Amino acid sequence: MLGRHGLPRRSLLTIGGMSLLGWSLPQLLRQLESSEIRPRQDRGFGSAKSVLLVYLQGSPSHIDLWDPKPQAPADIRGEFKPISTRTPGLQLGEVLPKLAQQSDHYTIVRSIGVDPKGLRNHGAAIYMLMTGHNPTNFTPTGLAVAPSREDLPSLGANIARYQPAPRGSFSNVAVGAPVMEGRIVGVGQSAGLHGAAYDPYTLYDDATQPLAPAGFTLPPDMPLERIASRLDLRKVVDARYHQIENSNTTFDGFYDQAMALLQSRQALAAFHLHQEPVRLRERYGMTRFGQSLLLARRLIEADTRFVQVTWPGRSDEEPVPGPDGSWDTHRNNFPMLRDHRCPVLDHSLSALLEDLAQRGLLETTLVVAIGEFGRSPRIGAQTTNNVGPGGRDHWPECYSFLIAGGGVRGGRSYGRSDHHGAWPADDAMHPYDLLATLYHAIGINPATEYLDNLNRPRRLVESGNPVAGLF
């Protein structure tokens, strides 16, 4: 039975009691309305069980990887030729031959972008992508600052709060490498004002080596039953939970979470990569990025709700040879992509998609591979940063990303950039629309609101809507 505001009568009956706690009637109605689950007939709502965010920090060139422009002038189209994929009419850059053979599993979106209003740096773009809010909520200049409990919560934290994993599984995990802008670690990664219980469980060790997840190893003379009855679990839970007394989370929440994980062999066994066949580990690639993707697949199998795999290179560091350098190619863009970055990305990401599909996990796992922005169409052109010979600058106005699984249709492109890859031409998408789509797919209304530390209502995403055309 519905009340006057279209809310269930049971919900309205709670208002009198909750108002005693200091909630006004408008606040209560807004909170109840925002938490109402959208009807299942909404295309794509709840189609994903998990989200796997592959964050390519430093940001690869969209023109050279995802959106080739063979008809553009040479100083825009660059050195790479387009190659055909398994999908008729869909082309990628020649540096992604293995991903080209997996095209039936994914969609390439070529029309995401944002007018940065002067904030063209990594920190501001990362914050927008990870939180769904304007960077002035982060800092007026958009320059990175250390995370704090005053921050707005990240995508993973919101998923952990509003769609938590089953008991005994992780809700929010970050592996691969930390997000870094300058000397600041963790831009847009924490649960902020939600409290420490929704922070990601982080394991940034090199996954090519044996992993030992901190906080879950018991002393040999301390059986689990004895811990449950006697031990202060603050000595067992990860050290980052030292902020518990200053957070919004009760100790009971940490106790339940820790005990459930300690009792769950499945969740902790996900970190035992040595159990995988050598041939499969090699298919993912014996690199930090490749083995982190394999770890992500194992975490998804263990019912983890949200996993973020971050590319090892810092967002704004000078690219160097080898498998772990940055995508921030202000100079030497083409040799860095051809010889170092793209072979690793192509080998490992194609393995992930193939493996998820073969195991039947891709149907319920929404995979997104994206950087914080694109790279400038014109090679060597100075925009706002120090661009050297053969380099491409930051370009947030238009770029591309790969999205697969979780109800998203594969084997196509979505949206179109203009003939230089500089601006969206059709089906323009804002980064906030992407985040709204991810919440929508995992069954969370992106219009859900929570109260910040000043008792102001905040939406999960500042603006934007789910992109129904992806499903």
461-470 pLDDT tens trace:
999 999 999 9
For the chain, domain boundaries: 1-36, 47-470
- Inform me whether the pLDDT recorded for 68 exceeds 90: yes
Per-residue model confidence (pLDDT) at position 216: 65
Q: What average pLDDT does this structure show over 63-86?
A: 98
Helices assigned H by DSSP within 270-396: 278-284, 288-301, 333-336, 342-358
Asked if 111 and 428 touch (Cβ cutoff 8 Å), the reply is: yes
Per-residue model confidence (pLDDT) at position 220: 59
Give the C-alpha separation, 389 to 253, whole Å: 54
State phi, psi for 91 to the nearest 5 degrees. Answer: -120, 150
Per-residue model confidence (pLDDT) at position 318: 87
Architecture of domain 47-470: 3-Layer(aba) Sandwich (3.40)
Give the C-alpha separation, 190 to 203, whole Å: 14
Least confident residue range of 169-178, 358-367, 387-396, 422-431: 387-396
- Inform me whether the pLDDT recorded for 415 exceeds 90: yes
**329-383, pLDDT tens digit by residue?**
999 999 999 999 999 999 999 999 999 999 999 999 999 999 999 999 999 876 6
Q: What is the overall mean pLDDT for the chain?
A: 85
> Which of 99-103, 231-235, 315-319 has the highest mean predicted lDDT (pLDDT)?
99-103
- Residue 358: C-alpha distances to residues 105, 108, 226, 274 (Å): 11, 21, 42, 20
> Which of 101-110, 138-147, 313-322 has the highest mean predicted lDDT (pLDDT)?
101-110
Instruction: Work out the percent of the chain whose per-residue pLDDT is above 70.
Output: 78
Nearest to 24 by CA among 407, 440, 457, 359: 457
Least confident residue range of 139-148, 198-207, 420-429: 139-148
DSSP conformation letters of 180-215: EETTEE-TTTS-GGG-GGGSPEEE-S-TTS----TT
State phi, psi for 344 to the nearest 5 degrees. Answer: -70, -50
Instruction: Work out the percent of the chain whose per-residue pLDDT is above 90.
Output: 69
pLDDT category at 31 given cuts 50, 70, 90 is very low
Helix (H) / strand (E) containing 133: none
Least confident residue range of 29-43, 307-321, 395-409: 29-43
Per-residue exposure over 284-317, b if at least 16 CB sit within 10 Å of its own CB, e if not: bbebbbbbbbbbbbbbbbbbbbbbbbbbbbbbbe
Q: What average pLDDT does this structure show over 35-45?
A: 61
Q: What letter does residue 414 receive in the DSSP assignment? A: E
Asked if 334 and 79 touch (Cβ cutoff 8 Å), the reply is: yes
Per-residue model confidence (pLDDT) at position 30: 44
Between 431 and 212, whose confidence is greater?
431
Helix 431-441 with 122-131: angle, nearest 10 deg? 30
Name residue 449's beta-bridge partners.
459
Per-residue model confidence (pLDDT) at position 215: 65
